[in-house]
Each structure stands twice: as C-alpha cells, then as structure tokens.
Amino acid sequence: MKQNKRKHFNIKLKLTLFVLAFSLIPILYISIYMNVKFTKHLQEQAYLYYSNILKQITKNVDSTFLDYSIKISDVTKTDNFKKIINWPVYKTKIEERFYLAEMGEDINIPQINSLIWNVYTNINGLFAVIETNRYSITNDTGYKVHYLVDDHSGFRIDYNELLKEPLYKRMVEEGGTVYGTLSKKTLSEVSNRSVILYPYNHKTTNKPDIILVSILYDDFIKNIIDHPQIKHGTVYLLDINNNVITQTHPSLNDYYKYDKDNGKYVLEGDDVYNEFDMSFYDYQKLNTRQSILKKEEVKEALLLLDADRKLLYSGRGDSTNYSEKFVKINDNGVEYLLVTSFSLETGAKLVYFIPLSYINKPIFNSLLNIGIAVFFMFILIFILGIWLSGHFTKPIILLAKAMVKSGKGELNIINSIKTNDEIQTLYDSYNIMIKDMVMNHGKIEAEEEELKVTRLVAITALARLAEYRDESTGRHLERVREYTRILVTELRKYSKYSNYLTDKYIEDITSSSVLHDIGKVGIENKVLLKPGKLTPEEYEIIKGHAIIGGDALSNADHELGIKSFLTLAKEICYYHHEKYDGTGYPKGLKGEEIPLSARITALADVYDALTADRCYRKALSHVEAADIIINKDVGHFDPDIVLCFIENQHKFIEIKNLYRNIELKDHMIS
C-alpha cells in the first residue's frame, strides 16, 4: 500500500513539475527575451546617439581647422610676410637678428596691423615660420625659423627632425594644410600640443620652401571636443597617425578627485554623493588608461576609420561608413561601448568609451520587478499544479483499481467521481461496461468474451479522451488500430519476429495502439486546438503529451500489479514519437532501443495523419504519403516495418477507403 502511495506521489510530482515548467518557462523566456531585446535596443540607440554627437564634434574640428587654414593663409597675404620671404641673403648676424624689428615686427610689442599682430589676434597658439631654403648665419643651418608668437616656453623647432615626421610627409604628399602632433625631437618643450602645418610654395619647387607652424593651446582643443552629453564616458582625440592629442577624463571639471598614482577616482572628506550628475560609481567605471587604445578591437576600428576617410576624401565613398560597427570592449573588468568618428579634413579621430553599466541603468529596475513577479507566479503555479495533478491522477487510479477488481469478477459501478469532463465520460463508459457485464454474465465463455469487449470499450473510451478534444481527427483511432493490426500481423511472417509476435501480443498491441495520444487530455485547448502554426513554446507543450500519457498509464499498470495490455499501452504512449535515427522525442531513443510496439504504431499513426483531413491542411493521397514514409522521411521508421508497409500497401488503401466511406455516411446522417 505504501508502494502504491509512493508511486501515486511520483506521478503527481511529475505532473506538478510539468505544469510548473511549462507555465514558467514561457514567462521566463519572454522576460529574458524582452530584457535581451530591450538591452540590445537600448545599446544600439545609445550607439546611434553618441555616434551622431561625435560626428558633430568632428564637424566642429573640421570647421575650426578650415577656419584656421584661412587665417594662416591670410598671414601669407600681409606685406611684411612677403618682405620676409623675399628678403635678400643675410649679410651679417646683426642683420639677421634685427631686420624684423626694422619692419615693425617686434614679438614683445607688436604694432597694429603688423604680421605678429595679425597672428596674435587670429590664432590661439604659438606661431613660427620656417624658410627651408634660407641660410641662417646665427644658427649655421640651411634653414631659418622665425618665432613670431611665443609664450615664454622657449619652444624650438628642429627642421631636420621635422623632415622625418609622418605629419610632414603627409603635408608634402597631400600638398595642403595638415593637423596632428610632432615628437619631442622636432618640437621641444611643447611637444604635447597639437599643431597645424601650412605649406607655402614661394619658388614652386617639389617641396614647400616656406612652412607656417601653428602650435595650438591645450584648452582650445579640449573646448572643441567638450560636450555635456558625452561626459559619462571618455573621449580620446587622436591624430591621423593615432597619436593621442587629448582626452576628456581625467579633467579639472570632474566632480571627484583623480589619483594619478593609482589611476582611480577617490572620495575625499567633503565629497558627497552627487545625484544630479554622475555618481562616484559612474566615475569609477570611466576609462582613463590609454592602454585601451592598444586593444585589437580598437585597432581594427581605427583601421576602418582610415579606410572610410580615404574613400570619402577621394570622392569614391558615400555616407555609409564601414566604421559604423557596434563594438563592445572589456578593459580592466569593465565593459564599454566603443563609438568612433573621424575628421574628414584633418584625419583626426574621436574614440569614445562609455561604460555599458551607465547605458543599462534603466534596465536594472525592470529586472527587479520582473524577478518579484516571477517569484509570486512560481508560488501560485506550484499550488495550482499540485491541485491539477491530483485532480487528474486520482480518477485514473480509481478506475485502474476498479478494472483490476472487474478482472477478478467484482463488477461494481463507480459513483464517487463527478468531474463533468472527459474523465467523467471515461467513468460513464466504464459504468456502462460494468452494467453490460452484469446483465450478460452467465456462462464462463460469455464472461470471458464480455471481459474482452469491456476492455476494448474501456480502452476506446480512455483513448477518446484526447479525440473528444479535437473533432477534426475523425475516426483516427479506428484507422490507426487497423493499420497497426495489418503491420503486426504481416510482420509476424518475418522469421525475425515470428516467435516474439504471439496472438496475445497482436491482440494487445492492436487494442492498445488507440491509447497513443491519451496524454493530450493534459494539454490546454488553446494549444491543442490552435488552427494556425504552433510557436516553439507551444510545440514543446504539445510534445509533453507523450510523458503525460505514458506516466498515467505506467502508474495504472503498476496499480494492476500484473502484466497486462497496459504494458504495451504505456510503451506506445511514451515512445510513438521516437525516431529510428534517434532524433525523436521525448528521450531521443535510437534503433531497437525503441520498443517494437512503439515502432509499429509510429508508422500507422503517421500514415493516418498524412492521409486524413486536418484543420490545418487537406489529406494527402496514398502515393504522396507513401513517398514521404519510404523516401523523404528516411531515418524516422524501422526499415523492417517500412518494408512490411511497402509489401502491404493495398491493405492500407482498403482500410483508408473503407473508413472514408463510413465517415461520408456519418456526415450524411448528421
């Protein structure tokens, strides 16, 4: 008795877990799916948003660069500039030193409208003019540098080193104004500043004989790229050769102090949480390490920027940038969204790293709410699952016990079950069976015959639980039973199966085959009777009918305590959707791991499904169905059973036509 209760509990537990799983899985799947989709959408929108901001900044860089190019060009149009470049060869050091002052060009006291005054008022930075072909007596060099604007930094330009610079070579190659950085060897004291080189061909040689050099102040560059909407990440401004010109963090404008030694932001005694700006947590996620620019993902992005610029600059490109690629990058345990843009005129690049934790902030609260909702739904569905499993299994157990007693001659009508559903129909059929047996018992032979009939009635009634739910299946059960009978009877003629397929086996499998879809009573109508295509989640629910039915019949088989037709019935119910090549369900059995009863019923079930009208399609002809079974669905069925089907196709056609005529008569009568 304890064993029975334990097994009863097992099936209840399985059904409870089944209901729980297939109720929560769609919810969890949808929640996770929506969260992933929302996160992806949020990140994509953030990418587009910040990409547009960077493009606007690079346009500002281009605009400023072009404006400065014009201003430098204006310098070359002044009278004193022309006097400088046309000045005769220096005769003495004194002449070389003071001839500018004689023209009114005093670096300390510039006169209004002078060359130096023009530079002071229009250009925000240091300024020098290099005459590449003039001999300097003072410096004993083949070139002369005029330092027109200085901030007392004592900067000096080494022209010989300048000739080696990539920026100079690009200026010569492109034959125009360029923007970038110079090394310490070329530009002493102020090499950390960006420069503009302006070539001026005075004598029309292969290389510029005059070079105007503008060395821009740091704050001027930072003001160009400073944008309030990108403060939540770090922007690096690189020149065309990927040298860092400046970066937005760390900055004097940061709310929290930056410790250069540790490379981190720190809280000081008077610091408080800044709820109106970026939190301390946000600042800690900021990237301040230039080593991130050495990562392969960043290098690849910079190469794409160069390719984009070359195409657009040459006029062969369009507005679709190869560089617009959604890239995430991890540095020092923090994940960033990488956004890039380039300056068409200067070749400078903006590389922006914004922490994904900042972008994903709106998602955190929604995840918390979803988690709470799923928890309470789990409790509710668990309670509901226990109730439903008990409601489903109790009548089946009672019926199984009654059937055992009826087999021993105890013919009692059951009045304790009133479910008002398909299970009630099952009990009504059983009670009718018992009444018929009581009325017709007498002789032992008659009783045995009646028992067979009542068993068949019980099996049919049990099988109709699923068929009552789906009226479109017609006489599916009867046809499957007859197709199964043909296969098993003819298969016994094969020497391989002659000893195994006894008369009792044939009788049991024929009658039990109709129970193959009994588990569909546990599937909701909205899924079972859905007219259109099933979703992946709904298909998984439908697939569960094999387990539901198999567990129910297995439990009933154990309750009987003797080997009966239910042994084959549970095999068929469990495994009639397994495939010979192992791709079926629910367990993925392969070859002869699948019980013979299930392998036989599987072909009978599929043949009838193909040749019968369904709500979602018209019936196939026998030729079409046979072609699928024999040629197209290779690996689904046991080759021996397929061969048996091929040899007895005419019998299948006879059964199919017979029941079609019966259904036509039923339809005319109704």
Phi-psi region of 347 (alpha: psi -120 to 50; beta: other; left: phi over 0): left
**Structural domain of residue 145, as residue ranges?**
79-113+125-216
Q: Is residue 101 part of a domain?
A: yes
Cα–Cα–Cα angle for 500, 503, 505, rounded to 5 degrees = 60
Note whether residue 317 is domain-resident.
yes
Q: Which residue has the higher pLDDT, 520 or 465?
A: 520
Model confidence at 644: pLDDT above 80: yes
Do 208 and 227 fall within a single domain? no
Looking at the structure, tell me whether residues 455 and 351 fall in a common domain. no
In total, how many domains does the chain have? 3
Reported as a pLDDT band with limits 50, 70 and 90, residue 591 is very high
Q: Mean pLDDT: which of 173-187, 199-213, 262-276 is highest?
A: 173-187
Q: Output 556-560 pairs: Cβ under 8 A, ≥24 positions apart.
A: 556/396, 556/397, 556/399, 556/400, 558/4, 558/7, 559/4, 559/7, 559/397, 559/400, 559/401, 559/404, 560/400, 560/403, 560/404
**Same structural domain, 271 and 298:** yes
pLDDT of residue 270: 60
Point out which residues pair with 244 in neighbouring strands.
238
pLDDT, mean of residues 360-364: 75
For 632, half-sphere exposure in the C-beta direction (CA atoms, 13 angstrom radius) is 7
Residues 147, 265 within the same domain:
no
Q: Do residues 199 and 208 make contact, with C-beta atoms less than 8 angstroms apart?
A: yes
Rounded to the nearest 5 degrees, what angle is found at the Cα of 134, between the Cα atoms of 131 and 136? 105
**Which two three-digit tokens encode residue 661?**
């005529």
Percent of the chain with pLDDT over 90: 28
Q: What is the pLDDT of residue 121?
A: 85
By three-state DSSP, how is residue 191 classified?
coil
Return the structure tokens found at 356: 């994904």
Nearest to 509 by CA among 483, 537, 535: 483
Distance CA 668, CA 670 (A): 5
pLDDT at 419: 63
Q: Please indicate whether residue 171 or residue 563 has the higher confidence score (pLDDT).
A: 171
Residues 6 or more apart from 156 whose CB is under 8 A from it?
145, 187, 188, 189
260 in any annotated domain: yes
Pairwise pLDDT comparison (553 vs 449), residue with the higher score = 553
Q: How confident is the model at residue 377 (pLDDT cuts 50, 70, 90)?
A: confident
171 with 295, same domain: the answer is no
Classify residue 532: in a domain, yes or no: no
pLDDT confidence of residue 573: 92
Tell me whether residue 70 is in a domain.
no
Asked whether residue 591 is domain-assigned, the answer is no
- Express each pLDDT in 344-358 by its tens digit: 888 899 999 999 888
Tell whether 348 and 449 lie within a shared domain: no
Q: Tens of pLDDT along 380-423?
A: 766 766 666 666 667 767 766 777 776 666 666 665 666 666 66
The torsion angles phi and psi of 251, rounded to 5 degrees, stand at -145, 160
| One domain, residues 190 and 164 | yes
Neighbouring CB atoms inside 10 A of 545's CB total 22
Say which residues have a Cβ less than 8 Å from residue 469's Cβ, sequence separation at least 6: 422, 520, 521, 523, 525, 528, 529
Residue where a domain stops, chosen among 468, 494, 512:
468
How far is the C-alpha of 135 from the C-alpha of 148, rounded, in Å? Answer: 18
Q: Are residues 232 and 208 in the same domain?
A: no
Stated as kind and residue range, the H or E segment containing 335 is strand 334-342
Tokens of 577: 């959707």
In this structure, the answer to whether residues 303 and 340 fall within a common structural domain is yes
Determine contact, residues 660/608, Cβ cutoff 8 Å. Answer: no
- CA-CA distances (angstroms) from residue 389 to 3, 47, 384? 19, 50, 9
Say whether both 160 and 253 belong to one domain.
no
Choice among 58-72, 420-434, 544-558 with the minimum mean pLDDT: 420-434
Measure the CA–CA gap between 363 and 221, rounded to whole angstroms.
36
Which residues fall within 8 angstroms of residue 280, CB to CB, at 6 or more apart? 256, 265, 267, 271, 273, 274
Q: Looking at residue 6, what is its pLDDT?
A: 46
Select the highest-mean-pLDDT range: 1-10, 278-287, 378-387, 649-658.
649-658
Q: What angle separates helix 444-467 from helix 503-512, to the nearest 10 degrees?
A: 40
Segment of 224-233, 275-284, 561-570 carrying the highest mean pLDDT? 224-233
- On whether residue 248 sits in a domain, the answer given is yes
In the numeric block, the tokens 């009783």 are attached to: 447
Same domain membership, residue 87 and residue 106: yes
Whether residue 426 contacts residue 465, with contact meaning beta carbons closer than 8 Å, is answered with yes
Q: How far is CA 225 from CA 54, 250, 652, in A?
A: 9, 14, 81
User: Where a domain ends, among 332, 365, 398?
Assistant: 365
**119 lies in a domain?**
no
pLDDT at 373 over 50: yes
Domain boundary residue, one of 308, 332, 365:
365
Distance CA 289, CA 329 (A): 14
Considering the domain architecture, whether residues 306 and 424 belong to the same structural domain is answered as no
Residue 452: count other Cβ atoms within 10 Å of its Cβ: 12
User: CATH number, domain at 107?
Assistant: 3.30.450
**pLDDT at residue 7 in the model:** 47
pLDDT in tens, 150-175: 766 778 899 999 999 999 998 988 88
**What Rg value do the Cα atoms of the chain yield, rounded?**
44
> From CA 228, how far away is CA 237, in angstroms rounded?
16
Nearest to 338 by CA among 51, 60, 56, 57: 51
Question: What confidence score (pLDDT) does residue 468 get?
Answer: 58
